[in-house]
Structure 1
Amino acid sequence: MLVGGQGTRLRPLTLGVPKPLLPTAGVPFLAHQLARARAFGVRRVVFATSYRAEMFRPTFGDGEAFGLSLTYVYEEEPLGTGGAIRNAARALTCGPDAPVLVLNGDILSGHDIGEQVRRHVAARAAVTLHLTEVDDPSRFGCVPTDADGRVTAFLEKTPNPVTNRINAGCYVFTRSVIDTIPEGRVVSVERETFPGLIEAGALVLGYATRSYWLDVGTPEAFVQGSRDLVLGRLASPALPAPPGELIVLPGAEVSPEAKVGGGSVVGAGAKVEAGAAVTGSVLGDGCLIAAGATVTDSVVGRGARIAEGVVLRDAVIGDDAEVGPGNELIRGVRVWPGVVLPERAVRFSSDA
């Protein structure tokens, strides 16, 4: 599992916590991936770590809570997707012909992992890629296939894409193929490994689905992913409560006179006072949403304080930050951890 990225697009959320550990629908993001992998028969997982690697083991331990065996491999310097896979391979114990499932640590997906593995084995492919269809493939590199599902190219972003299918970040490698990735240097599977295999005539297979899929690499997508999990739009065995309008974690206080819903999460020890309205948002542990505040499609970090009458919409408030009365923060504004905004300092914000 590739969990070494720095998550720069998610800052300030990732300044102190790696992206795969961000609280998502009440649990660390990776908990959802681990639980789904376990449901499809995975029993052993190798974490390819780099950024804040020391935080993973205390969170997941040996994996017993998930019915898994977890191993942690560290990269001293970021090695790219291919380099990370090659580096983590030293912890693999399977034979050269065995399938190895590789997951990007920032993807939510509802596709059938078991079927992807079965197709890979049946076709004796070198690699089998999960492909998903998107409305605007020009924002991604696209992955065309022939009538038999064989990947014919990896194309960079273009205003005129030849297909709406893109790389969805879940791969099944034949173990021996991983050993052909150069060791000890930066390698991109998208720009080097997969195109090289195609050019050499190896079978790179595409497994295309229209199931739920989301890259949670931006604050907007992160909020959407948490919201979709809470609402049950994507089933997750790791959800800490039945899906519904909201999840309230232990020790949280939500006033009966507050309105909280739309797939929101209220973190442990957080408080939402009377007259506040919270919709589709992630409230961190120990934060305060004061009376009359409105929070919509936003993230409020651990210990942050949102004063009376504040309006947040599509905003990210860092840990322990304070937003004084009368502020209106909208359209992607981000407040760094520990920052204090005095009363009526900001009435609105342009995209940031």
Structure 2
Amino acid sequence: MVNRSAILLVGGRGTRLQPLTNNTPKPMLQVAGVPFTEHQILKARDAGISEIVLATSFKAELFEPYFGDGADFGISIKYAVEEVALGTGGAISNAAQVLSSANESNGRAPIAIFNGDVLSGHDLNAQFEFHEAKGADVTLYLTKVEDARAYGAVELDDFGKVSAFNEKMENPPTNTINAGCYIFNRDVINTIPFGKVISVERETFPKLLNDGAKVFGFIDTSYWLDIGTPAALLKASRDLVFEKKLEFLALEGSKISPSAKVNGGSVIGRAAQIGDAAQISGSVIGDGAKVGAGANLLNCFVAEGFEVPGHVIAENNFFGY
């Protein structure tokens, strides 16, 4: 099997997730007890990827202290920092320079590209196999949604080749959307201008079609979620907790009063404390945080180390951000 490499785009500011992202980049926000990026790295590793480059920009300095060289995660991790945000295409071109395959002559070497804000259950290994079987230059992971207006709708011909890209429009011609994971051949990445601000969705993909490249769509309709809003982030965390067949996840050193009620896929952070008769549902309680006696929290975020007073009643709220 050809060595598999990947680039993970983690440079976004996550403005829709404020105030959670005021001091933490979106990909480093906790989802089911670990940074969201960790879930994606493990997915890549499990699909046979041996090397991944994190394409960082906003708060870039927070990634390497946590992930290191990847030894603890069973995969080689490298870092490419953008001093100025380069867009998705520019980030891919910049990160590709760091891959160990950067100077290799095999232009057909497949490289997976992940958006840093998508949680999915799609079969990445099957996408690689599809890419190879089709002799594709680029293969996009696609999924289907009820309302495609907020996404990039992708049209396919009868053979599965991409025939048109439609970026966020009021009346999209299809409900098949770009789901945020691509496989590029190395020589295709080499055509993206280096050091320039480029959108892979608005510039690179349409140019590839115009140039006659073999761009295919791999449709997988399993679980898919864009974590770009606080509600979606909570859902992602809840869904991963429920996937473990748990009603809630209590991390190391946390203390929950026997009279407290915790459910709804909540996560109780490391060394966090939940007081007597408190009720916590569908919420994320940060490491070292305290929730006072009798408090009732529904779909809330509590920041690391913050103390929620007793008997507070809150829904869809942020504490300590």
Give the unaligned 5+ runs of structure 2: 1-7
Distance (Å, rounded) in 2 between the aligned partners of 1:311 and 1:150: 53
1:192 aligns with 2:203: yes
* Partner in structure 2 of residue 136 of structure 1: 147
Instruction: Map Cα deviations across residues 139-170 of structure 1 (whole Å, 9 max, x no partner).
Output: 22211111111111111222322111111110
Instruction: Map Cα deviations across residues 265-301 of structure 1 (whole Å, 9 max, x no partner).
Output: 0001111111111111111011111111111122111
Of 299, 308, 320, which residue of structure 2 is paired with 1:306? 308
Are the equivalent residues in 1 in contact too, given 2:115–2:181 (CA < 8 A)?
Answer: yes
Of 262, 266, 281, which residue of structure 2 is paired with 1:264? 266
Instruction: Map Cα deviations across residues 234-253 of structure 1 (whole Å, 9 max, x no partner).
Output: xxxxxxxx541111111111
Are the equivalent residues in 2 in contact too, given 1:229–1:243 (CA < 8 A)?
Answer: no
1:79 aligns with 2:81: no
Q: Per the alignment, in what secondary structure is the counterpart of residue 171 of structure 1?
A: strand
Are the equivalent residues in 2 in contact too, given 1:219–1:316 (CA < 8 A)?
Answer: no
1:45 aligns with 2:52: yes
Q: Per the alignment, in what secondary structure is the counterpart of residue 118 of structure 1?
A: helix
Of 235, 258, 271, which residue of structure 2 is paired with 1:224? 235
Of 282, 285, 298, which residue of structure 2 is paired with 1:283? 285
Q: In the alignment, residue 42 of structure 2 is paired with which amino acid?
A: A
Q: Per the alignment, in what secondary structure is the counterpart of residue 197 of structure 1?
A: helix
Q: In the alignment, residue 310 of structure 2 is paired with which amino acid?
A: E
* Partner in structure 2 of residue 247 of structure 1: 249
Distance (Å, rounded) in 2 between the aligned partners of 1:156 and 1:73: 27
Of 2, 5, 11, which residue of structure 1 is paired with 2:9? 2
Of 166, 176, 186, which residue of structure 2 is paired with 1:175? 186
1:207 aligns with 2:218: yes
1:101 aligns with 2:103: no
Write the mapping of 1:140-179 to structure 2, written as runs, cut at 5 A. 140-179=151-190
Q: In the alignment, residue 75 of structure 1 is paired with which amino acid?
A: E
Distance (Å, rounded) in 1 between the aligned partners of 2:45 and 2:168: 34
Are the equivalent residues in 1 in contact too, given 2:78–2:98 (CA < 8 A)?
Answer: yes
* Partner in structure 1 of residue 24 of structure 2: 17
* Partner in structure 2 of residue 346 of structure 1: none
Of 106, 118, 129, which residue of structure 2 is paired with 1:118? 129
Are the equivalent residues in 1 in contact too, given 2:107–2:187 (CA < 8 A)?
Answer: yes
Q: Per the alignment, in what secondary structure is the counterpart of residue 206 of structure 2?
A: helix
**RMSD between aligned residues:** 1.1
1:274 aligns with 2:285: no
Q: Give the TM-score normalised by structure 1.
A: 0.86
Distance (Å, rounded) in 1 between the aligned partners of 2:248 and 2:67: 25
For these two proteins, the number of residue pairs brought into alignment is: 310
Q: In the alignment, residue 3 of structure 1 is paired with which amino acid?
A: V
Of 291, 294, 299, which residue of structure 2 is paired with 1:292? 294
> Which range is displaced more, 302-311 or 168-177?
302-311
Instruction: Map Cα deviations across residues 215-259 of structure 1 (whole Å, 9 max, x no partner).
Output: 111111101100100100xxxxxxxxx541111111111011000
Q: Per the alignment, in what secondary structure is the counterpart of residue 180 of structure 1?
A: coil
> Which range is displaced more, 296-305 or 40-49?
296-305
Q: In the alignment, residue 282 of structure 2 is paired with which amino acid?
A: G
1:64 aligns with 2:71: yes
* Partner in structure 1 of residue 3 of structure 2: none
Q: Give the TM-score normalised by structure 2.
A: 0.94
Shift of 1:97: 1.1
Give the unaligned 5+ runs of structure 1: 233-241, 322-336, 338-352
> Which range is displaced more, 301-310 or 83-92?
301-310
Percentage of pairs with the same residue: 51
Q: Per the alignment, in what secondary structure is the counterpart of residue 163 of structure 1?
A: coil
Distance (Å, rounded) in 2 between the aligned partners of 1:51 and 1:120: 32
Distance (Å, rounded) in 2 between the aligned partners of 1:124 and 1:315: 49
Higher relative contact order (CA 8 A, sep 6+): 2
> Which range is displaced more, 222-231 or 138-147?
138-147
